[in-house]
Structure 1
């Protein structure tokens, strides 16, 4: 079937697959390095306890068959090794069937982690990686031209990511409609980056222009992905540029990078190769019949499952970042339907004093990415995902977001649990554990340019309230788990 494949997109597929392998690599490294402290048998939300109450049909995962910390870490490192192999082109050197199995194994491993990841894996980019990874299974390798149906399904996925995000904004916070959301967003976003302070202090008319441009990029441009070339390529390019703007202004794990990768299959690879002076691909044999059958079956499955996300886009009660099936095959996306006007940060503090007095000196625990020390410039961590730092941002929004993990975190810090402390940038008690811990809620704001010049500080903070009163190890039973 000549219509089944198109060699015009060989370069687009190549870059997409290599980039997706890189994202998978980062995701598996995150699991390998943070999983034991967050999800381990002695972690903040242990997987074994989760599996006791969660049936396989609701959360399919290899860990229903067996779980141990060693097995979890082995799965994560296996995923990282396989991702690295695909990143350097191993799939293109293997037979088509073997390449497809390799991508399928990656998807199964990461699905297994996400489905036991609980609050730590409740982010939209987890489902986005799984849905992208599932489609990548059927993209083939250099032994066959890219299948047109899967290329269109990738555009459909990108459309839902962008158009869904645009709709959730227009339907949500009023500041998106009056173009004022970026007066606040750069300061109040979950994890500011090194340029966020500068973005925040851009002139307000430029902030309004940013919001207007965002609406164009998310509500109009995605429709053009389904138009003939070169218009579709131009639309993809606009999406790439807007995503790079987001990369520069904050830390959103691999969300922006994965969205950029999803735009690439919409680019006419033949024309891109001509512009870049790359050789044309050699003539490729017709794909095997079994491959055509598998691609057609996968396409039919995705189209059937697309009913629920499509209905959600049209609904006045649009869901954001929601999976309609436990395999995360076809999902709905969106972010920042509402914008916080102020930034509240939970700061954990400890002391070594045996008896608390008004003169007790409390020392702050410092996290890697979230704001703490007012003189510390925000760091760039994305696409790596600092899961605990993100959840601390949610805790600042409401104590309800900290219900399952904050008390265990305090318990681990009271005994200076090694795995937990590794998640932090610095502990003020590197030797003897603290005698008491407390948490306080602070209002953080970016300093003005004048304050920055005078003090060298990036942030100014004001105490709001007590988040957790002082506790001791003797009063904290969960610290012994």
Structure 2
């Protein structure tokens, strides 16, 4: 079985599995704590309405069989508990078939959530977690040496993530080709982190060096993942360093962390740890892994065709199970940052002298004096969608109105998604939204004002609105 196993990579398998299980835990935790306001029975985009107009074969999910908020919470917390058990090593403490079943259940539960999550779950890292999670089902445990075909499929996934992101940049915004995109990116990215202000103010020659290094790591280095060791380890190491740099510079949910975990699966630590004797795999397991390998390679046709296309698409799934997908990010970079500021008043008839009080979001910029926080790998879904809504009202047409209605209704679950509710005793009578242009302050402005952002009013985004009838009333 020398052609099938890679005993030198036993530690790589452990690190990958434990890291992936940790990210599964974060994903299920995010679902459990946010779903009621977003897609619950009284949410902005309720699951029951969605499943009524979709077919199970297009969006396979156990929620097509039955939906209730209690069932969704059970699925989310069960997934989180199972993920923690796998982090603790439960997959290696049980027989191989049971271990595979645990990983399969974890994947199926999260697939059920993603496929009814609608726009709140329309991010590349959701498909990436599912694709990596599907491969993890067949990676085995201590009952057998790591299967080389699955480890190579993980590298193939990492290759598509990095190379796809590199191509979408080179083909997209001109600033990637002239190495100036990072003059703007740290300021205009969806959700800045606590160090993003400092990254933005790095010298421009360093920004150009960052962009050039990014191109090398994403367009050249991925090919070396399939080279003999230690070249593959060195290639993976460069990717890890690049991803950790991105972790420091912004909040991108678990995108960077799952890329790190994938890269670590290619690292050969045997020169430091030595060999670890493991049993040969049973025949049924070999046959199953070979069949899955063939399936993934066949399903890779459309993602490869997308990579080669001049009209390359980012973050696209080609089947309802998210088995083999296309990835990419920031094909274009914004030059300016607009933010929606949501305000309320208890004045029954707003006028020029009306006092409006601002709602505070947990992650997205709001109060100019508030330093952005670090949340990744946790995903603040509402905050991310507010960035898209500021780009164009079309991105928010389905959910922004229901969001405002729930603020007017004082909906507890919606208010839990926010950092500050300026109406703790009773909901406002009117809510409005205004669009502001944000930019980072300079060092001098920061010292003088204590503000990390400067903002200027652009226009009204939503005029003062009041509740006509209680939310949920027909």
- Aligned to 1:218, what secondary structure does the other structure show? helix
Return closer, same or farther for 1:447/1:325 CA change in 2, 3 Å cut-off: same
Partner Cα distance (2:449, 2:359) in 1? 22
**Deviations 1:224-254, CA, capped at 9 Å, x for gaps:** 1111111110000000000000000000000
Q: Equivalent residue for 1:324? A: 318
Query: Which one of the candidate residues 311, 319, 327 is aligned to 2:305?
Result: 311
Q: Equivalent residue for 2:142? A: 142
- Aligned to 1:13, what secondary structure does the other structure show? helix
- How far off is 1:355 after superposition? 1.9
Partner Cα distance (1:373, 1:415) in 2? 24
* Residue correspondence of structure 1 range 327-366 to structure 2 within 5 A: 327-366=321-360
Query: Which one of the candidate residues 407, 416, 423 is aligned to 2:410?
Result: 416
* Residue correspondence of structure 1 range 244-393 to structure 2 within 5 A: 244-271=244-271, 274=272, 278=273, 280-281=275-276, 283-393=277-387
**Deviations 1:132-154, CA, capped at 9 Å, x for gaps:** 00000000001111000001000
Partner Cα distance (1:151, 1:471) in 2? 55
Partner Cα distance (1:328, 1:23) in 2? 17
**Deviations 1:83-102, CA, capped at 9 Å, x for gaps:** 00000000100000000000
Partner Cα distance (2:265, 2:431) in 1? 51
Partner Cα distance (1:397, 1:240) in 2? 31
**Deviations 1:441-468, CA, capped at 9 Å, x for gaps:** 0000000100000000000000000000
* Residue correspondence of structure 1 range 82-93 to structure 2 within 5 A: 82-93=82-93
8 Å contact from structure 2 (residues 340, 436) kept in 1: yes
TM-score (norm 2): 0.99
8 Å contact from structure 1 (residues 47, 116) kept in 2: yes
* Residue correspondence of structure 1 range 42-57 to structure 2 within 5 A: 42-57=42-57
**Deviations 1:187-220, CA, capped at 9 Å, x for gaps:** 0000000000000000111101110000001000
Q: Equivalent residue for 2:206? A: 206
- How far off is 1:269 after superposition? 2.8
Partner Cα distance (2:53, 2:466) in 1? 31
Query: Which one of the candidate residues 421, 434, 457 is aligned to 1:463?
Result: 457
**Deviations 1:21-61, CA, capped at 9 Å, x for gaps:** 00000000000000111000100100000001110111000
Partner Cα distance (1:66, 1:128) in 2? 26
Let me know the Cα RMSD of the aligned residues: 1.0
Partner Cα distance (1:204, 1:111) in 2? 43
- How far off is 1:280 after superposition? 3.6
Q: Which structure 1 residue ranges, 5 or more long, are not aligned?
A: none
* Residue correspondence of structure 1 range 144-159 to structure 2 within 5 A: 144-159=144-159
Moved over 4 A (4+): 476-481
8 Å contact from structure 1 (residues 414, 479) kept in 2: no
Partner Cα distance (2:279, 2:244) in 1? 37
8 Å contact from structure 2 (residues 42, 472) kept in 1: no
Partner Cα distance (1:477, 1:58) in 2? 33
- How far off is 1:415 after superposition? 1.0
Partner Cα distance (2:279, 2:337) in 1? 58
- How far off is 1:5 after superposition? 0.7
- How far off is 1:3 after superposition? 1.3
TM-score (norm 1): 0.97
Partner Cα distance (1:285, 1:425) in 2? 52
Partner Cα distance (1:286, 1:390) in 2? 46
8 Å contact from structure 1 (residues 412, 479) kept in 2: no
Q: Which structure 2 residue ranges, 5 or more long, are not aligned?
A: none
Partner Cα distance (2:44, 2:225) in 1? 43
* Residue correspondence of structure 1 range 228-247 to structure 2 within 5 A: 228-247=228-247
Q: Equivalent residue for 2:58? A: 58
